Amino acid sequence: MLKGKTAVVTGSTSGIGLGVAKALAQQGASVMINGFGEAKEIEALRLSLERLSGAPAAYQDADMSKPGEAAAMIMAAELTLGKVDILVNNAGIQHVSPIEEFPADKWDMILAVNLSSSFHTIRAALPGMRARGWGRILNIASTHGLVASVNKSAYVAAKHGLIGLTKTVALETATTGITCNAICPGWVLTPLVQKQIDALASHQRMTEGEAKAKLLAEKQPSHDFATPEQIGGIAVFLCSDAADQIRGASLTVDGGWTAQ
């Protein structure tokens, strides 16, 4: 379905971002991944994406906290892969603390990575999309773009801001072939979440299954995790012709979290 299209996915060397990158590659898209990790592992990922898509894949180590690097990554994708048809803003970081104890530098970094980087990549990618008359911008937000939780002031503020940015870009491109939407996952079983599960199990002397159940029971009524592959499938759908008139939407993948 996406043969001949080119995608950039930020924060895509693991977790949700990698799930999205693989799903787009499976549909034939050339993909540029971005993120941190061991050079050998990243090269193996890049080659695996080429095998999936039958098209070139690339990697950029741009630091999403730095505006210049975020914008330069889009230029690099245009030079390396020819264009940017699909932009998936997925890069994100987290810090948990009561607001009166929240380090100011952590606030600034979370806002930079989770919100401002999307502004910079969209700003850089839109001119090319407009020139070609087609584009898909997908912002990976969160249930925390719609509701809040304690001790996550910066993350919640950034993700709420990302939903607002999504709506604005959707309106500014409403009469074009470019769409902008957000995907709002709840608990997704990624390597980072698995670390939380392992830590909870160790700290409270639980089995892994008990720790998972406790984590899910607090928020997610389905008592089950979403998967990176499921998020990838939704990303593919939003790139399809069927999604042409889905604009400025926030699609929840949260097991009923925000239905409560």
Q: Is residue 16 part of a domain?
A: yes
Range of the domain at 217: 189-225
Q: Report the CATH number at residue 154.
A: 3.40.50.720
**Neighbour-count burial of 59, counting CB atoms closer than 10 A to its CB (0-12 exposed, 13-18 middle, 19+ buried):** buried
Tell whether 41 and 121 lie within a shared domain. Answer: yes
Q: Is residue 216 part of a domain?
A: yes
Residue 131 and residue 72 in one domain: yes
Is the Cα dihedral 253, 162, 109, 38 positive or negative?
positive
In which element (H, E) is residue 60 found?
Answer: strand 57-60
Note whether 173 and 239 are same-domain residues: yes
Listed in order, strand segments (DSSP E) in 61-170 are 86-89, 135-140
Residues 121 and 39 in one domain: yes
Residues 26 and 78 in one domain: yes
Active site residues: 155
- From first to last of its 260 residues, the chain has per-residue pLDDT tens of 999 999 999 999 999 999 999 999 999 999 999 999 999 999 999 999 999 999 999 999 999 999 999 999 999 999 999 999 999 999 999 999 999 999 999 999 999 999 999 999 999 999 999 999 999 999 999 999 999 999 999 999 999 999 999 999 999 999 999 999 999 999 999 888 888 899 889 988 989 999 999 889 989 999 999 999 999 999 999 999 999 999 999 999 999 999 99
Reduce the DSSP state of residue 176 to 3 states and report it.
Answer: coil
Split into its structural domains, the chain has a count of 2
Tell whether 1 is covered by a domain.
no
Between the alpha carbon of residue 229 and those of residues 149, 179, 180, the distances in Å are 26, 22, 21
Query: Quick check: is 46 in a domain?
Result: yes
